[in-house]
Amino acid sequence: MALVRFSRPFDPINALLNLQQEFDRVFDNPRGFDLGLSGRGTFPPMNVFSDADGYTVRMEIPGVAPENVAIEANGRTLTVSGTRETKAPEGASFHRRERSGADFSRSLQLPADLSLEHIEASCKHGMLTIRIPKKAEAKPRQMTVKAA
């Protein structure tokens, strides 16, 4: 039996509000990103970073040669697909098989203010880095104020 410690008197209103918050957290997309079915265990795992000029998407794709990665932008959807080399030597029997995936494909939907024409991608030591800049009109601009 699970033991639950109450630090304060049971408050049904607060419990409902907490539930509401949990639902909001699940259904809210992180800042306009729609990652589809995702989470831990999906190959390749992905991190998304932002800065003032745009977004950086990093994926861990060990064992994938740069020439075997394809990145496709279609509307607001970015698809990364490729083939992972997991070939075993001839006539080998496995003792342990923890590495996942052979062919993979993963899509994510991007916020509307990104310019998909200027995507840059690089792949080094099994790390794929995709740089997606913001559209020029979406960047914050500074105006100079002139004294009249």
Partner 1 sequence: MAEQELTTYKKPEETKDEHTRPGRTYVPAVDICETTDSLWLRADMPGVDENSVAVDVANNVLSIEGWVSVKEYENLQPVYTEYNIGNYSRRFTLSNEIDTSRITAKMVNGVLALELPKAEKAKPRRITVSAN
Residue numbers of the site for partner 1 (CB under 8 A)?
A: 30-31, 33, 35, 38-40, 42, 45-51, 55-56, 60-66, 86, 88-100, 125-127, 129
- Residue with Cβ nearer partner 1 (124 or 141): 124
Spatial distance between the Cα atoms of 112 and 133, rounded to a whole number of angstroms: 12
Tell me how far, at minimum, the Cβ of 133 lies from partner 1, in Å: 14
Taking the least distance from each CB to partner 1, the nearer of 124 and 146 is 124
Core vs surface per residue 33-63: b (16+ CB within 10 A) or e = beeeeeeeeebbebebeeeeebbbbebebee
| Cβ distance to partner 1 smaller for residue 1 or 88 | 88
Nearest distance in Å: CB 112, partner 1: 16
Strand 120-124 to strand 46-51: parallel, antiparallel, or no bridges (unpaired)? Answer: unpaired
Q: Which residue number, 90 or 137, has a Cβ lying nearer to partner 1? A: 90
Q: Please, what is the end-to-end C-alpha distance for the chain in angstroms?
A: 75
Number of residues in the chain:
148
CB 123, min distance to partner 1, A:
8
Kindly give, in sequence order, each residue whose CB lies less than 8 Å from that of residue 133, ignoring residues fewer than 6 positions away: 53, 54, 114, 115, 118, 119
Q: How far is the CB of 25 from partner 1 (least distance, A)?
A: 11
